[in-house]
Amino acid sequence: MTAAALAAVAQTLLVAAGAPLLVGLLRTLKARLAGRRGPNPWQPYFDLAKLLRKETVVSETTSWVFGVTPYVLAATMLVAAAVVPVIVTRPALAFAGNVVLLMYLFMLGTFFLALAGLDSGSAFGGMGSSRGIAVAALAEPTIMLAVFALAIRTGTINLGGVAERIGSDPVLAAHPGHLLAFLAFFIVMVAENGRLPVDNPATHLELTMIHEAMVLEYSGHYLALVEWAGAMKLFLFLTLLANLFFPWWIPSDVAALPMLLGALALAGKLVLLAAALAVIETVVAKLRLFRVPELLAGSFALAVLSVASVVLLK
Amino acid sequence: MSTLAGSVGAVIGLGAAGLGLAGLLGHQWTVRNAWLVPLTGLELRMDPIAGFFLLLVGAAAFPASLYALDHHRGERRGDGAYLVFLLAMGVVPLAANAPTFLLAWELMALASYALVLHDHRQPEVVRAAWIYAVMTHAGLASLLAGMLFMSASTGSLRFADWHAAGPGLDGTTRSLAWLLLTIGFASKAGVVPLHVWLPIAHPAAPSHVSALMSGVMIKLGIYGLLRVGLEWLGPGPAWWGVALLLAGTVSALKGVLYALVERDLKRLLAFSSIENVGIVLIGVGAGMVFHASGLEFLAVFAVAAGLYHTANHAAFKALLFLGAGAVTHALGTRDMEAMGGLIKRMPWTAAAFLVGAVAIAALPPLNGFVSEWLTLLALLQAAQIPRLELSLVFALAIAGLALTSGLAVACFVRAFGITFLALPRSAAAAGAHEAGRATRAALALLALACVALGLGPTVVLPVLGGAAASLVGLPAPVLVEWPLTLTVAGDFASLSVPVIALGLGLGLLLPLLALRLVGAPRGRRFAATWGCGRLLQTARMEYNATSFAGPYKRIFDFVYRPRKRLEIEFHPESRFFVRRMSYENLPRGLAEEWLYVPVVRALQHASARMRRLQSGSSNLYLIYVLAALLILLVLA
């Protein structure tokens, strides 16, 4: 019991502490691909430390919702980090949640972030809120259909259960429906985390911002929390992609050595996924806002095909 | 409302809630009276399902009456109608024969019609009440036809006899009876395409009545659908369930899409009621499909999920309508474009409304999430049905429900954010006052109910599972293995909302402590919102309800098919200067245009033809009487 609890704490800490590194790595990789030297992968830690030292300036227009939001974001990501199979298939809190809960938890964060965007009364914030939720809402059907495809094949929607069953049966992982669901979910990851071609995390040009517009009024330790939560969200989505669709080398029992190996395997998978994301972000340009629904419709079509192929090729 | 009527309403609510709770937990009784109701006499029977709906009526009537105590004080008009409305809603689920049921049903409709007419000096209220009266009686006609057909087929007016004889009827008779009764009940529930009256009538009524109409009255339509599809006519063919499942999906999507672009706060809530009835119907329809496929556990599970959402919707919709009522009362308008900044002037109402918004947007750890999770879970297990085409129907429902929940988040960010956050958009909003004490108590009570129903699914679900099982005629399934965790079908899924809530609480505190530990500066400096260098910020620069809805209007253009109109008046000297510009972009109601307008036109056409018979000349009428007499004599 204590070992399991310790493992859960270790996993949450790993996500909390490792997330900025993943973001830094992604930035470095993108810079190298673009022919620049780029920042040190550890740069996000320095950024966070600097933000924590800075004064927090808050708009006079805002209410308590604005101040609570960064903490809500951090809380949703921390709970998610305790539920997702990161270095062990069934972490101590895995019984409390499942894929569906996880997606609704992320939505809770988006809900409050959008309210905070409206709270400052700036047109940018409202614009970001309206658009940000539109993207998140359009991604929902894809997520649930991908979950349906997984549920049909594995007979469970508990995250640990999916990982264990696909991990123990390579035939399940080689199914075309599996690959289609992975692609659909990858596009959802891009949309939910505001990556190119849906949103550009590096821009501060008013007309193109989605996520950055919502957080425009944040500064100081609020901004640090928001950025940190954003990094955790990316880390968790990539972990989900790695551990639900390629669930190999994840230990199912809590012991120090297998978990260390699990962490190493996860690091390898994350680097590969981050590299793929960096290549995509380097190659494609940002889509016009009203072309984004078409991209998401494409991912929805992939998810439908995935369900259809799973049902037909059962 | 007079203090007396409000207090009586509150007492009726408490009594009904207590009686209903006892019934839901298994206390059954029957009341008979031979002379009170014609034909069969009065017959009331309590069973778990009746208890559940009676509990909803009572639990919503109590806070609604509290709210009423604060508003329209000293005005006696509408008191009687309000109390009749409450009593009739309480009798509907208890009625055990057709005359009792129809009497209560019609009393409920007439009383609510009178209540909708409260502000009868405004022409649009009169119009709303008229549409409501027409639609509710069209529904009643269908219901009456279905009930007469049932009594002709079974030879009895008692529901118990229908239940006994229903499965023995032949397929066509059953399906015809099901269709007639279902159309009647679906029009009360506001299922698309029979929903058109709902967004017109609900906002026109005073807010405590809107809360009851949206929170409870339309649920009695769901009650009827449950009785018809699962009890009176027994397990039907799979297509009954599929029809309800698809109607539910369409209603959910249509409701949320129209709520998303609505500017009138109460109309927005009314549209969202259509959405939530759709979600309930998805659960009920899935349950009927499972039942027809012989999957008993899933049938009970899906129906219990539908019941759970019914209860949840009653809680948060009553909360939101009362909150909207407090706002409307303080501002004197329902237009969201005149609101804003109310969180500082009405902090209690705002906090309660936020709880309702989080709950209705189906976000953890509140109640809307739990029932939507259960409904989704019922759908996700559809692979157990061996029929391929049904799997695809379920995939459609899953995608529809997922999109609905995403758009509901957008809808309620907009409803809360535009109404309560940022700068006030009108002088009325800037000078708004907090709601009275009774109203705040009502809001707090309902917010508490949302939290309790969210944290306590392990207590609530077994009870609802028992009620659903008693309706379907199956043993109650085991859903809770561990006191705080729901476990569905072994390892299929598990959920522990209290643990998640606790985790969220810890997650809120830990960063706060960590920031203290690392010594981050704690002070905050207040400054103006950044505005690209402009000098002052006004409410006109804010995003408003219309601009927030902009992207959705564009993405779902194919649903709204808006009527767009752009008028530009140029300066006579040069076209480069514009004097006046007006732009209109109004979503159209497709059901209204494609279904109702042709029907109404045909009706009017037929009436115009019929009018030739009525010339006004009494000689002619005498000839009609004579002709009728002769024909009757010849026929006899």
pLDDT tens readout for residues A1-47: 677 888 888 889 999 999 999 999 999 999 999 999 989 999 999 99
Residue of A9, A51, A65 to mutate, interface with B, max B Cβ within 10 Å: A65
Tell me what the pLDDT averaged over chain B comes to: 90
What integer pLDDT is reported at residue B569 of this predicted model? 87
Question: Is A104 a residue whose pLDDT tops 90?
Answer: yes
Alpha carbon B597 to chain centroid, angstroms: 25
Residues with Cβ within 8 Å of residue A166, at least 6 apart in sequence: A153, A154, A172, A173, A178, A244, A245, A247
What part of A 215-254 touches B (C-beta under 8 Å)?
216-217, 220-221, 224-225
- Residue B552 with chain A: CB contacts under 8 Å: 130, 134
Which band of pLDDT confidence, cut at 50, 70 and 90, is reported for residue B72?
confident
A4 inside 8 A of chain B by CB: no
Closest approach of B527 to chain A, Cα-based (Å): 5
Residues with Cβ within 8 Å of residue A3, at least 6 apart in sequence: A254, A255
| Phi, psi dihedrals of residue B235, rounded to the nearest 5° | -70, 120
Closest in B409, B493, B548 to A158, CB measured: B493
Instruction: Please check whether residues B363 and B242 belong to one and the same domain.
Output: yes
User: Whats the size of chain B, residue-wise?
Assistant: 636
CA pair distance B216, B16, nearest whole angstrom: 13
What token pair was written down for B69?
A: 């105590």
Least confident of A9-23, B154-168, B206-220: B154-168
Count of other CB atoms within 10 angstroms of residue B154: 20
What integer pLDDT is reported at residue B443 of this predicted model? 95
Question: Is B456 a residue whose pLDDT tops 70?
Answer: yes
A144/B524 touch (CB, cutoff 8 Å), yes or no: no
CA atoms within 13 A on the CB side of B527: 12
Instruction: Please check whether residues B465 and B382 belong to one and the same domain.
Output: yes
Least confident of B51-60, B185-194, B470-479: B470-479
Question: Is A108 a residue whose pLDDT tops 90?
Answer: yes
Percent of chain A scoring above 90 in pLDDT: 51
Instruction: Please check whether residues B548 and B597 belong to one and the same domain.
Output: no
Residues B556, B403 contacting (CB under 8 angstroms): no
Least confident of B207-216, B290-299, B515-524: B515-524
What part of A 155-214 touches B (C-beta under 8 Å)?
155-158, 161, 206
Least confident of B69-78, B235-244, B403-412, B603-612: B69-78
CA pair distance A61, B531, nearest whole angstrom: 13
β-pairing verdict for B493-495 and B485-488:
antiparallel
What token pair was written down for B605?
A: 């056409």
Peptide bond into B386 cis (omega under 30): no
- The b/e string for B511-539 (b: 16+ C-beta within 10 A; e otherwise) is beeebeeeebeeeeeeebbbbeeeeebeb
Closest approach of A35 to chain B, Cα-based (Å): 33
**Within-domain flag for B140:** no
What integer pLDDT is reported at residue B482 of this predicted model? 67
Average pLDDT score over residue span B560-566:
85
CA pair distance B175, B169, nearest whole angstrom: 10
CA pair distance A314, A123, nearest whole angstrom: 51
Which band of pLDDT confidence, cut at 50, 70 and 90, is reported for residue A206?
low
Instruction: Please check whether residues B500 and B612 belong to one and the same domain.
Output: no
| Phi, psi dihedrals of residue A55, rounded to the nearest 5° | -70, 145
Instruction: Please check whether residues B329 and B404 belong to one and the same domain.
Output: yes
Closest approach of B163 to chain A, Cα-based (Å): 36
Question: Is B1 a residue whose pLDDT tops 80?
Answer: no
**Within-domain flag for B163:** no
Residue of A156, A180, A214, A312 to mutate, interface with B, max B Cβ within 10 Å: A156
Q: Where are the beta strands (DSSP E) in B401-491?
A: 480-482, 485-488
**Between residues B55 and B616, the one the model is more confident about:** B55
B492/A71 touch (CB, cutoff 8 Å), yes or no: no
Average pLDDT score over residue span A147-161:
86
CA pair distance B259, B141, nearest whole angstrom: 29
**Between residues B171 and B404, the one the model is more confident about:** B404
What integer pLDDT is reported at residue B363 of this predicted model? 94
**Within-domain flag for B434:** yes
Instruction: Please check whether residues B375 and B489 belong to one and the same domain.
Output: yes
Which band of pLDDT confidence, cut at 50, 70 and 90, is reported for residue A314?
low
Average pLDDT score over residue span A283-304:
89
Closest A-chain CA to B503: A79
Which band of pLDDT confidence, cut at 50, 70 and 90, is reported for residue B170?
confident
C-alpha pair distances (Å), B451 with each of B33, B275, B412: 41, 21, 18
Residues B289, B385 contacting (CB under 8 angstroms): yes
Residues A96, B503 contacting (CB under 8 angstroms): yes
User: Domain count of chain B?
Assistant: 2
What token pair was written down for B334?
A: 């329902």
What token pair was written down for B385?
A: 């049905």
What part of B 410-429 touches A (C-beta under 8 Å)?
410, 412-414, 416-418, 420-423
What integer pLDDT is reported at residue B325 of this predicted model? 94
What integer pLDDT is reported at residue A227 of this predicted model? 94
What token pair was written down for B310?
A: 């019914």
Instruction: Please check whether residues B548 and B601 belong to one and the same domain.
Output: no
3-class DSSP assignment, residue B615: coil
CA pair distance B533, B542, nearest whole angstrom: 16
What integer pLDDT is reported at residue A277 of this predicted model? 94
pTM score, whole prediction: 0.94
What token pair was written down for A227?
A: 């950025």
3-class DSSP assignment, residue B176: helix
What integer pLDDT is reported at residue B478 of this predicted model? 67
What part of B 509-528 touches A (C-beta under 8 Å)?
510-512, 515, 518, 520-521, 523-528
CA pair distance A287, A139, nearest whole angstrom: 16
Residue among A192, A186, A175, A188 at smallest CA distance from A307: A175
- Residue A55 with chain B: CB contacts under 8 Å: 521, 523, 525
Average pLDDT score over residue span B576-581:
85
Q: What is the pLDDT of residues B94-137, one digit of tens each?
A: 999 999 999 999 999 999 999 999 888 889 899 999 999 999 99
What token pair was written down for A145?
A: 């259909």
| Phi, psi dihedrals of residue B44, rounded to the nearest 5° | -120, 140
Average pLDDT score over residue span B276-298:
93
DSSP H helices in B227-366:
238-260, 265-292, 296-331, 342-345, 347-360
A100/B405 touch (CB, cutoff 8 Å), yes or no: no
Residues B334, B429 contacting (CB under 8 angstroms): no
Asked which of B552, B582, B616 is the last residue of a domain, the reply is B552
What integer pLDDT is reported at residue B210 of this predicted model? 94
Which band of pLDDT confidence, cut at 50, 70 and 90, is reported for residue A202?
confident
Question: Is B321 a residue whose pLDDT tops 90?
Answer: yes
Which band of pLDDT confidence, cut at 50, 70 and 90, is reported for residue B481?
low
Instruction: Please check whether residues B284 and B332 belong to one and the same domain.
Output: yes
Average pLDDT score over residue span B613-617:
81
| Phi, psi dihedrals of residue A257, rounded to the nearest 5° | -70, -50
- Residue A145 with chain B: CB contacts under 8 Å: 395, 398-399, 402
Question: Is B319 a residue whose pLDDT tops 90?
Answer: yes
What token pair was written down for B607?
A: 């009436």
B602 inside 8 A of chain A by CB: no
Least confident of A202-211, A251-260, B324-333, B496-505: A202-211
B539 inside 8 A of chain A by CB: yes
Least confident of B15-24, B318-327, B586-595: B586-595
Closest in B417, B485, B505 to A115, CB measured: B417
Phi-psi region of A138 (alpha: psi -120 to 50; beta: other; left: phi over 0): alpha
User: CA triplet A11, A12, A14: central angle to 5 degrees?
Assistant: 65
**Structural domain for B627, as ranges:** 590-635
Instruction: Please check whether residues B348 and B482 belong to one and the same domain.
Output: yes
Residues A209, A199 contacting (CB under 8 angstroms): yes
The strand pairing partners of A16, in sequence order, are none
B376/A100 touch (CB, cutoff 8 Å), yes or no: yes
**Between residues A282 and B592, the one the model is more confident about:** A282
CA pair distance A287, A275, nearest whole angstrom: 21
User: CA triplet A196, A197, A201: central angle to 5 degrees?
Assistant: 30
Residue of A64, A72, A144, A222 to mutate, interface with B, max B Cβ within 10 Å: A144
| Phi, psi dihedrals of residue B519, rounded to the nearest 5° | 75, 35
What integer pLDDT is reported at residue B87 of this predicted model? 95
What integer pLDDT is reported at residue A68 of this predicted model? 94
* Helix/strand number for chain B, H first, E second: 26, 8
Which band of pLDDT confidence, cut at 50, 70 and 90, is reported for residue B279?
very high
What integer pLDDT is reported at residue B78 of this predicted model? 84
**Within-domain flag for B579:** no
**Within-domain flag for B472:** yes
Alpha carbon B25 to chain centroid, angstroms: 25
Q: Where are the beta strands (DSSP E) in B498-612?
A: 524-527, 563-570, 578-586
Environment class of A179 (CB within 10 Å of its CB; exposed 0-12, middle 13-18, buried 19+): middle
Alpha carbon B4 to chain centroid, angstroms: 29
β-pairing verdict for B42-46 and B29-33:
antiparallel
Question: Is B491 a residue whose pLDDT tops 80?
Answer: no
Instruction: Please check whether residues B500 and B595 belong to one and the same domain.
Output: no
Residue of A73, A104, A206 to mutate, interface with B, max B Cβ within 10 Å: A104
Instruction: Please check whether residues B250 and B331 belong to one and the same domain.
Output: yes
Instruction: Please check whether residues B547 and B599 belong to one and the same domain.
Output: no
- In chain A, % helix, strand, coil (3-state, to 5) comes to 75, 0, 25
What part of A 69-128 touches B (C-beta under 8 Å)?
71-72, 74-79, 82, 93, 95-98, 100-101, 104-105, 107-108, 110-111, 114-115, 118-123, 125-127
What integer pLDDT is reported at residue A154 of this predicted model? 85
Residue identified by tokens 């499972």 is: B290
**Within-domain flag for B98:** no
B507/A121 touch (CB, cutoff 8 Å), yes or no: no
Question: Is B17 a residue whose pLDDT tops 80?
Answer: yes
What part of A 6-45 touches B (C-beta under 8 Å)?
none
CA pair distance A262, A242, nearest whole angstrom: 12
Average pLDDT score over residue span B374-392:
87
Closest A-chain CA to B392: A308
Question: Is B63 a residue whose pLDDT tops 90?
Answer: yes
Residue of A54, A140, A145, A223 to mutate, interface with B, max B Cβ within 10 Å: A140
**Within-domain flag for B375:** yes
A99-119 helix and B388-420 helix, angle to the nearest 10 degrees? 20
Alpha carbon B585 to chain centroid, angstroms: 27
Percent of chain B scoring above 90 in pLDDT: 58
Residue identified by tokens 């006579």 is: B572
Q: What is the pLDDT of residues B126-138, one digit of tens each?
A: 999 999 999 999 9
CA pair distance B134, B152, nearest whole angstrom: 27
What token pair was written down for B164?
A: 């006994």
The strand pairing partners of B568, in sequence order, are B581
- Residue B392 with chain A: CB contacts under 8 Å: 307-308, 311
| Phi, psi dihedrals of residue B490, rounded to the nearest 5° | 70, -115
Q: What is the dihedral of CA A106, A108, A110, A112, to 10 degrees?
A: -150
**Within-domain flag for B75:** no
- Residue B344 with chain A: CB contacts under 8 Å: 63
| Highest mean pLDDT of the ranges A95-99, B536-540, B544-548 | B544-548
